[in-house]
Structure 1
Amino acid sequence: MTTALRPGDPRRLGAYSLLGRLGEGGMGTVFLGRSDAGRIVAVKVIRPEFAAEDEFRARFRSEVDRARQVPPFCTAEVLDADPDHATPYLVVEYVDGPSLAEVVAEQGPLPGTNLHGVAVGVATALTAIHGAGVVHRDLKPSNVLFSLGTPKVIDFGIARALESTTRHTSASQMVGSIAYMAPERFDTDISPVVGPAADVFAWGAVVGYAGNGRTPFAAGSPTATAARILTQPPVLGALTGPLRDLVAHALAKEPDDRPTAHELLDALLSGESRDNAGFVADLGHRPKPHRSAGATTGPEREDGGPGAGPARRPRRRLWVAAALVLALAATAVALVLAPRRSATRTATQASAAPPAAAGPEWSRAIVDRLDRPGLWRARAGDPDGACSFESQLVITTRKSIDYWCQGPDDEFSGDQLITVDATVITPNACGVIFFRDHGTRGYELSLCSQEVRLERYDDAEGETLIRRTRDDAFAPGRRRAVTVAVVNDDVTTTVDGRTVLDARLTDRSLAAGHVVLGATNNTYTGESKAAFANIAIREAKREPPTSVQPS
């Protein structure tokens, strides 16, 4: 819908007369315009505060050049731009039709054939966009317009010019709509290099919205929506058959577990559907870095180096995610997540958010990608087992006893959070996380193919079990995100965001200790292997006791 120009709005920019307002967003205002040749166009004018930044102008110019290379089918063609104007502007094809958001709001969820058409049209657009080395970064229903019944994607690529200009974005301000943001978008350490997989996630959310009238992670607030994106499976409602499977794959928490836009399009056109294990197996045989336009072109990997790609992200249960929220602006959220640097130590503090909304302050945090020796070290020449690095920490044990790889010397006490990616490589193995460990005493969390169990061990008294089981907890070869949260001596373990164990830590003498990684051989024969990656250990800051003065 077009509205009248307001006082102060420009009436002309370059060769274009401005006729009215089409909309307003985070980067600027979109006007309806007419070229001197008489063509009706859409003119996006950048907000003045961004225009003052030389860095932004340079980024804007680069992104416009790349966006011009996108074939115009299923997208709004980029026609012109002036990054050097007092207020930089971009001119694109005017798509005279309603948005997907308007269609769903007026008519309700789309029926099967129409829904499939939208899925194909948007996947086609993303295939073209990614093929030109561009990442959309703000795909949502309002950016999908219908022209003669055909969906066209608008506003692609340019959002990165703003998001990469650090003065204008921070932990509490991001470009995009939270309901369509991939989990990696909430990690401020890697958001400038988020790749095409984030657009694929947004495709899944858009198709889920089109088919159900609500997004797959819809919740009552931006905070709750972000937490559901990070920790919960999507709610796919009325979606069925191969399309439901594709949307589920696209909404995988890990970028590397999602199909590419080209794979989406192939599957949609062929009607094929594969389970998640099939997708992951296929992806494991592809050359790395995986599916990132930025990993093969300079601008998308500026802080990652050649071949850099996003590492896997630990995921959190809903209440843990809520406890880690540091700041929330009116329409944007930031959560504490593991940085993508190897073997680093950081101190993380909560922002100045009100106490009721803030998460815990961390007195310290230890983070290690476990892709090379660092806080954890290689260990070889031992007949009982080995610790080696093969893009992750691989622990081999040749006996039925636990074999461990020593990590940092730090002891952790009180409330703490351990997040790590774990893989049982051989069926006879369990990956083991020791915490509050003192060598001969502590707690042992075993991650096995048939169960997850927590035990308190004490060589002096014999073993006391605290045990919860779940069948098929760790299928061999599948990497799972594990969270161990200790709050007031209650421990909760989640696997891929789903709670598998709750228990009470009853030994008050085990209030502190080391965190150690290991493996166990369940069959007493042969060699067994488990692996870990991307560990983060955090200890909550404890408030000093307060005294009450008599009045």
Structure 2
Amino acid sequence: MSRPLRPGDPRRLGGYEVLGRLGEGGMGTVFLGQDAQGHQVAIKVVRAEFATEDEYRRRFRSEVNRAKQVPPFSTAEVLGADPDHDPPYLVVEYVDGPSLATVVRDKGPMTGAALQSVAVGIATALTAIHGAGVIHRDLKPGNVLFALGGVKVIDFGIAQPLELTSQHTATNHMVGTVAYMAPERFEPDARTIVGFPADIFAWGAVVMYAATGRTPFAGESAPATAMRILTQPPDLTGLDGPLRDLVARALAKRAADRPTARELLDALLAVQTPPAPTGTQTPPAPTGTPPAAGQPSRPARNRRRVLISVTAVLAALGIGAAIILATAHRGDSPTASSSASPAPVAMPSKGTILAGTRHTLLHMSEIDRDLELPLDGEAVASDGTGQEAFFTLVPSGVDYLIKSVLPGPDNAERCLGVRLDPDGPGELVATTCAVSKATLFQIDKAGGKDDKGRATYFIASGSYGVVQWDETERKVYVEELGDGEPGLSFSFVDRGPV
């Protein structure tokens, strides 16, 4: 299900009518479109800062041409592109089905035939992708969809920013989801070529996630995870039998020690499928309103992309489990963006809570609790009786800083911010009130009312997702939903003038 278009969004791109927004990422905005025959498509429009690079446009054009040769039976088919448009855009098949990340999150890890099917399906897709000379570069649970006919892998090898390779040395940073990045991705030597084996490594990490709900090198931070990838053996607890052996081979430190996609597929097809225990899930049948839609992005939990340099990785060795805040530069991270998925509300008139002139409680309508920002630690649900639950919504363009009325140490202002977790959803924490991707939130009308008749709103970080509630863990968090609907809305309880 798409969201409404915003002012300034295109209404038509080439021969495609633009119907709505599917989501956003660091590379641009993904729109729902349809062709002249009424067939739905996903259209990725590249961000302007990449579109100005001549080298990017050249690579975009060559990779589109190669990607068109990928057999579409297990991938989102590339239907067209215009590298010369301002900005460039890419048109792919719209896959209507939930992601592997969503399925594991909602139903738990897979076993038996379901797990085997996922492993085979992804290996089949990689065989087709590599056969066309394309490297995926960002295989992860959010890019594996359950569609009619089986597993489909999306978002492969096109419209990715320049990264450190022998051909493309425009930056010394690497782009990808850290938990699924091969060791060679962290290699500082500019002559290093990141090739097909990096996708095989990611296959091993994704299959491990499907089987256990966790990644094989999970650390407390992105640098810690990277260091484990570089220096530690994978933790394969929960996997056994032939599949464990194949995952271990795929996760070899040396690229030359990993099987090719074809060898991997042949080995998987030779494995006798283990029986699934009673009650174990099978891959879901697609529904009309899936929690995630098939466009080139959108994982749920283990999809936190982080921009890391080799320097940061080495620094992590000295400081241990470093925390990467979203205030770090993420300009070429595929999840970074300057706007959120829902359409922004118009700027309110003076004197209202949304104009920043009133204090407010942020009441979480579905659970009848208020958001509280302790002096230390993560934001929590509370009864709203203390000053830690009082906020001012400070407009910043069409976005907002959510400022606590209770200052921190040295009387410094505190604002709500997003802290990234490479192996889970983003966390809401106290941070400085400097304007950044970590601290800017959009506040969008949800269209309903709470039990007191107050209007409800969704709160979202433009770069990292929508503020949600986890009933099992009893915590608030930030998560990109793709096409899914937010499960948590807020109403504002007036607590007097600023």
TM-score, scaled to structure 1 = 0.49
Letter of the 1:333 counterpart:
I
1:6 counterpart residue number: 6
1:47 counterpart residue number: 47
Flag the 1:196–1:330 CA change in 2: closer, same or farther, 3 A.
closer
Letter of the 1:199 counterpart:
D
Which residues in structure 2 correspond to 1:56-455 (within 5 Å)? Answer: 56-148=56-148, 150-159=150-159, 162-163=162-163, 170-171=171-172, 173-190=173-190, 193-271=193-271, 331-335=306-310
Q: Which structure would you say has the larger Rg?
A: 1
Q: Which runs of 5+ in 2 are unaligned?
A: 274-303, 323-498
Query: Offset at 1:251?
Result: 0.3
Determine the C-alpha separation between the residues in 2 that align with 1:34 and 1:262: 35
Flag the 1:140–1:335 CA change in 2: closer, same or farther, 3 A.
same
Query: Offset at 1:164?
Result: 6.4
1:207 alignment partner, SS class:
helix
Which residues in structure 2 correspond to 1:518-529 (within 5 Å)? Answer: none
Report if aligned partners of 1:29, 1:47 keep a CA contact under 8 Å in 2.
Answer: yes
Flag the 1:103–1:254 CA change in 2: closer, same or farther, 3 A.
same
2:80 alignment partner, SS class:
strand
Report if aligned partners of 1:60, 1:161 keep a CA contact under 8 Å in 2.
Answer: no
1:282 counterpart residue number: none
Query: Offset at 1:112?
Result: 1.5
Report if aligned partners of 2:162, 2:171 keep a CA contact under 8 Å in 1.
Answer: no
Determine the C-alpha separation between the residues in 2 that align with 1:36 and 1:219: 48
- CA distances 1:24-43 after superposition (whole Å, capped 9, x unpaired): 22211211111122110011
Query: Offset at 1:5?
Result: 2.1
Query: Offset at 1:161?
Result: 5.7
Report if aligned partners of 1:104, 1:213 keep a CA contact under 8 Å in 2.
Answer: yes
Letter of the 1:244 counterpart:
R
Determine the C-alpha separation between the residues in 2 that align with 1:330 and 1:270: 34
Query: Offset at 1:163?
Result: 2.8
Flag the 1:17–1:37 CA change in 2: closer, same or farther, 3 A.
same
1:92 alignment partner, SS class:
strand
User: For this pair of structures, how many residues does the alignment match?
Assistant: 290
Query: Offset at 1:157?
Result: 1.4
Query: Offset at 1:193?
Result: 2.4
- CA distances 1:295-321 after superposition (whole Å, capped 9, x unpaired): xxxxxxxxxxxxxxxxxxxxxxxxxxx
Report if aligned partners of 1:159, 1:175 keep a CA contact under 8 Å in 2.
Answer: no
Report if aligned partners of 1:178, 1:225 keep a CA contact under 8 Å in 2.
Answer: yes
Report if aligned partners of 2:181, 2:202 keep a CA contact under 8 Å in 1.
Answer: yes
Letter of the 2:307 counterpart:
A
Query: Offset at 1:91?
Result: 0.4
Report if aligned partners of 1:97, 1:147 keep a CA contact under 8 Å in 2.
Answer: yes
Query: Offset at 1:107?
Result: 0.6
Report if aligned partners of 1:22, 1:30 keep a CA contact under 8 Å in 2.
Answer: yes
2:331 counterpart residue number: none
2:6 alignment partner, SS class:
coil
Letter of the 1:331 counterpart:
V
Determine the C-alpha separation between the residues in 2 that align with 1:115 and 1:260: 20
Flag the 1:164–1:52 CA change in 2: closer, same or farther, 3 A.
farther
Determine the C-alpha separation between the residues in 1 that align with 2:168 and 2:128: 31
Which residues in structure 2 correspond to 1:12-27 (within 5 Å)? Answer: 12-27=12-27
Higher strand share: 1
2:73 alignment partner, SS class:
coil
Flag the 1:188–1:167 CA change in 2: closer, same or farther, 3 A.
same
Flag the 1:229–1:356 CA change in 2: closer, same or farther, 3 A.
closer
Flag the 1:244–1:108 CA change in 2: closer, same or farther, 3 A.
same
Report if aligned partners of 1:97, 1:146 keep a CA contact under 8 Å in 2.
Answer: yes
Report if aligned partners of 1:170, 1:188 keep a CA contact under 8 Å in 2.
Answer: no
Flag the 1:199–1:356 CA change in 2: closer, same or farther, 3 A.
closer
Query: Offset at 1:10?
Result: 1.7
Flag the 1:38–1:358 CA change in 2: closer, same or farther, 3 A.
closer
Flag the 1:212–1:197 CA change in 2: closer, same or farther, 3 A.
same
Report if aligned partners of 1:120, 1:268 keep a CA contact under 8 Å in 2.
Answer: yes
Determine the C-alpha separation between the residues in 2 that align with 1:136 and 1:167: 16
Query: Which of 75-84 and 16-25 deviates more?
Result: 16-25
- CA distances 1:131-179 after superposition (whole Å, capped 9, x unpaired): 11111011111111111261101111115563369999633x3221001
- CA distances 1:94-131 after superposition (whole Å, capped 9, x unpaired): 10001111111111101211110000000000001111
Report if aligned partners of 2:27, 2:161 keep a CA contact under 8 Å in 1.
Answer: no
Determine the C-alpha separation between the residues in 1 that align with 2:140 and 2:45: 20
Determine the C-alpha separation between the residues in 1 that align with 2:169 and 2:9: 23
1:84 alignment partner, SS class:
coil
1:193 alignment partner, SS class:
coil
